[in-house]
C-alpha cells in the first residue's frame, strides 16, 4: 500500500511515517492541505491519513476538493475534534473513517490493515513475473512459495515493484523507504538488496543492479 500522510506537526508526521514504513507501507508526507490536494491528484495512493487542522487549507476542505474532482481515494481523518457533530462533518465532507486524537497506534494500524484488505484505491496484489506482493497482508510469494521478508525488506520490494521496469535511484530508495533526504554514505540499501536476493533464491536476478544509479525490479528475460 502507498499512503499519504498529511500532517503539519513535524513530530507526529515523523512518528506516523516511521511506524507505517516499519509495517511495510510506502509513505509520503506533506505538511499542508494545498500540497496534499495536488499530490492526491497527481499520484496513485491507496490511503490518505489526513489531519483536520492544517495551515491555510484545512482537512475538511481537502476532502471536499478531492471528492468534487472525482477522486475516490480512501481518507482516514485524524483530529482532536471528537464531538459527534465534528465527526459527522468530517464524514459528510468525504472522509471514509475518523480517528480522534490522541489515538492508539495499534488501532490506527488496524484500521490501515482493514482498509488494505478491502483493496480500495488500487489492486491489493501486485505481480511482477513470478513475484506476487499482497500489500494488505504484507506477504510476498514467488511461484506461490512464501518469502519471509522483514518489514523494511517488504517496503523496499514493494516500492521497486510499484516502479517495476524503471531504474530507481539509490537516493530515491533512501528517501521513500528509509525517509532519509540525504545519502549517509552507508551501504544500507545494498545490504537489504543482498538479503532479499538470498531469500529470492533462484529468482535473485529479479532485482537488477544498475551500477552507479540504483536498482530495477522486473521479470527475468527469456
pLDDT in tens, 211-222: 989 999 987 554
Termini Cα distance of the chain? 30
pLDDT score at 120: 43
DSSP state, residue 205? G
125-217: same fold as 2-118? no
Q: Which grid coordinates are listed for 207? A: 532485482
| Domain definitions of the chain by residue range | 2-118, 125-217
Phi and psi at 170, nearest 5°, equal: -55, -40
CATH code for residues 2-118:
3.40.50.2300
Rounded Cα–Cα distance for residues 141 and 143 (Å): 6
C-alpha distances out from residue 99 to 5, 67, 167, 187, Å: 14, 20, 38, 38
Q: Would strands 131-134 and 139-142 be described as parallel, antiparallel, or unpaired? A: antiparallel
Taking only the tens place, the pLDDT of each residue in 42-96 is 887 889 999 988 888 998 899 999 998 888 889 999 888 767 777 788 788 888 8
pLDDT score at 199: 96
Mean pLDDT, the chain, as a whole number?
Answer: 85
Q: Would strands 145-147 and 75-79 be described as parallel, antiparallel, or unpaired? A: unpaired
Predicted model pTM? 0.60
CATH of 125-217, one of 1.10.10.10, 1.10.4190.10, 1.10.3720.10, 3.10.129.10: 1.10.10.10
pLDDT score at 190: 94
Amino acid at each position: 500500500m502507498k499512503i499519504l500522510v498529511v500532517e503539519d506537526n513535524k513530530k507526529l508526521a515523523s512518528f506516523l511515517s516511521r511506524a507505517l514504513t516499519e509495517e511495510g507501507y510506502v509513505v509520503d508526507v506533506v505538511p499542508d492541505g494545498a500540497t496534499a490536494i495536488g499530490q492526491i491528484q497527481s499520484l496513485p495512493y491507496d490511503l490518505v491519513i489526513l489531519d483536520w487542522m492544517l495551515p491555510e487549507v484545512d482537512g475538511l476542505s481537502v476532502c471536499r476538493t478531492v471528492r468534487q474532482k472525482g477522486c475516490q481515494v480512501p481518507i482516514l481523518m485524524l483530529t482532536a475534534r471528537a464531538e459527534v457533530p465534528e465527526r459527522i462533518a468530517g464524514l459528510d465532507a468525504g472522509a471514509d473513517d475518523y480517528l480522534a486524537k490522541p489515538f492508539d497506534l495499534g488501532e490506527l494500524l488496524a484500521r490501515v490493515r482493514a482498509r488494505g484488505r478491502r483493496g480500495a484505491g488500487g489492486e491489493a496484489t501486485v505481480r511482477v513475473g513470478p513475484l506476487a506482493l499482497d500489500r494488505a497482508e504484507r506477504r510476498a510469494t514467488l511461484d506461490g512459495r512464501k518469502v519471509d521478508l522483514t518489514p523494511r525488506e517488504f517496503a523496499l520490494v514493494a516500492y521497486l515493484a510499484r516502479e517495476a521496469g524503471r531504474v530507481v535511484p539509490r537516493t530515491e530508495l533512501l528517501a521513500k523507504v528509509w525517509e532519509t533526504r540525504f545519502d549517509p554514505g552507508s551501504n544500507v540499501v545494498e545490504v537489504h538488496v543482498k538479503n532479499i536476493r538470498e531469500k529470492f533464491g533462484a529468482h535473485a536476478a529479479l532485482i537488477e543492479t544498475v551500477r552507479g544509479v540504483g536498482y530495477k525490479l522486473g521479470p527475468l528475460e527469456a
